[in-house]
Structure 1
Amino acid sequence: MAAEDKNKELVEKIKQIISEQLGVDEAEVTSSASFVDDLGADSLDQVELVMAFEEAFGLEISDEDAEKMRTVQDAVDYIDKHAKVSK
């Protein structure tokens, strides 16, 4: 159960970052939401999102990996697998 709580915390933090970066309501940030199609992100927004994830979670996300992050769930899965810092 502790892992579930940690994952829920991670998801909430990611959703908060996305909401702030893209200026959308957190309720719109669902797991299946596409950054571009559903949340209106352009290429600059996507770069800024990746930078925000890197800073928040102590990550270095390669351009190749960043290109694969198309939905909120993609970001959650990647960060959950690679995060060093979850504060």
Structure 2
Amino acid sequence: MVFDKVKEIIVDSLSCDADAVTLEANLKDDLEADSLDAVELIMAIEEEFDIEIPDDVSTQMQTVKNIVDYIETNK
């Protein structure tokens, strides 16, 4: 499942508690990702799923669900 892999990448990238990573979790507010964290996270997701996420799209991704939805739509 895409969410499980994304969750694993987020926990590794942000060193956050796995229980905090839900579809509704906001990357900045709930998971405390700063702009550098977000860039590194997107790069890790692109590598894992072998996709490219345009910068204008990645900057609009605010929740875990935004990331999962994009991957499922563009895989």
TM-score by length of structure 2 reads 0.96
**Corresponding residue for residue 11 of structure 2:** 19
- Aligned CA-pair RMSD: 0.6
For 1:29-87, what per-residue CA distance to the aligned partner results, in whole angstroms no more than 9, with x for missing partners?
0111000000000000000010001000001111001011110000000011112xxxx
Distance in 2 between residues matched to 1:48 and 1:12, nearest whole Å? 18
What secondary structure does 1:21 align onto? helix
Aligned residue type for 1:35: L
In structure 1, the gaps of 5 or more residues are: 1-8
Normalising by structure 1, we get a TM-score of: 0.84
Q: Which residue of 2 aligns with 1:3?
A: none
Task: Supply the AA of the counterpart residue of 2:40.
Answer: E
Question: In the alignment, which residue of structure 1 is the partner of 2:54?
Answer: 62
Which segments of 5 or more consecutive residues in structure 2 lack a partner in the other structure?
none
Residue identity matched to 2:46: E
- For 2:65, the equivalent position in structure 1 comes to 73
Q: Are 1:41 and 2:33 matched, yes or no?
A: yes
Question: For 1:32 and 1:75, how far apart are their aligned partners in 2?
Answer: 11
Aligned residues: 75
Ranked by relative contact order (alpha carbons within 8 Å, sequence separation 6 or more), the top structure is 2
